[in-house]
Chain A
Amino acid sequence: MIPTPDLRHLTAQDYDRVYEPAEDTFLLLDALEADQHDLKRLRPLISLEIGSGSGCVSAFIAKILGPSVRTSRPTHFSPSLTSSTVYLCTDINPHACRCTHSTGHHNAAPLDPINTSLAGPLARRLHRAVDVVLFNPPYVPTVPDEADDAQQARGIAGAWAGGVDGMGVTDQFLERVGELMSDRGRFYLVAVPENDVPGIRERMLRVHGLQSEIVLSRRAGREHLFVLRFVRAQGASQTN
């Protein structure tokens, strides 16, 4: 059992501006925990979370992966930051970047927040270099302009307002994620039925050569939540 990251440093004022971890967050944590052995075997060099918000998810995967080398440092020293993986965390909301940073600090996880939309300035240098991609997107269907407006406002609504079918933001990233994933990379995405999960999976395989599985699903109140995991389809690693 991997403990949920310590978020006691975040306050009600923070959660006025940044999405507070909820059922969708915890479902993603559970999916990562279920995959913990595969994730450790993968020994990722680079993990990239899009829309890291509180930083809870990246701090959690850092706990899973941990230090790849045990030091002989005496235990009475405070734990120093581990460095077996780089945990890049983007968020369009500047306050979310501050929360991600402090969550990393409080969990001995070296999270590197970058205040940008999606993969933004990382896309060029991370071409086919990312071993783990994590995205709990704004998936709630809204009127069309609401997703764009929320992204431009760079506030908390950007964490949920998803536009038509809740796919306004997610679709932009799905077009690019294949260029970021390394050949052994895996991509975890949270989705709801309104996003058309079968349609996403079919399109990602047909257009981008990424095959997927539904690794976890759960009902939480009115929401039915899914976690999808994408990997490169066999024989598709030379496209893109």
Chain B
Amino acid sequence: MVRLITHNLLACHVKGCNTNNFPLQFRDIQIELREAEFNPDFLKGFMPKIEWKALVDAARQLGDTSLPLEQPEMLDDEFLKNLHHVLLEVKEV
């Protein structure tokens, strides 16, 4: 039960697990959606903390292909709304 914003912050910390320890792999994927309030300022502030490829891959594994492979330079509203949905409203359960 994890939102993708959290998933993007989790790395395996088991002793000796030094390679391939981020991101964590999903198993038996099920998805839940829950509405969250759209806040573009938060998203823009959080962008530098995101491991972009891991987020895009995770979203695609959960069936959401709305994010571009490269982090865009222009943060238009449509992009931010997609990012908002992926980061904060999709939950892997």
Contacts and interface: CB of A to CB of B under 8 A. Distances in A.
Contact of B5 (A69, A84, A112, A126): A112
A153 interface: no
B27 interface: no
Interface of B: 1-3, 5-6, 8-13, 22, 24, 34-42, 45-46, 49, 51, 84, 88
A80 B35 contact: yes
B45 A83 contact: no
Interface residues of A, number: 26
B13 A124 contact: yes
Contacts of B13: 120-121, 123-124
A47 interface: no
Shortest beta-carbon contacts, A-B, top 8:
A124-B11, A81-B36, A125-B9, A112-B6, A121-B10, A121-B13, A83-B39, A83-B36
A71 interface: yes
Contacts of B36: 80-83, 110
Contacts of A114: 2, 6, 10
B90 to A, nearest CB: 13
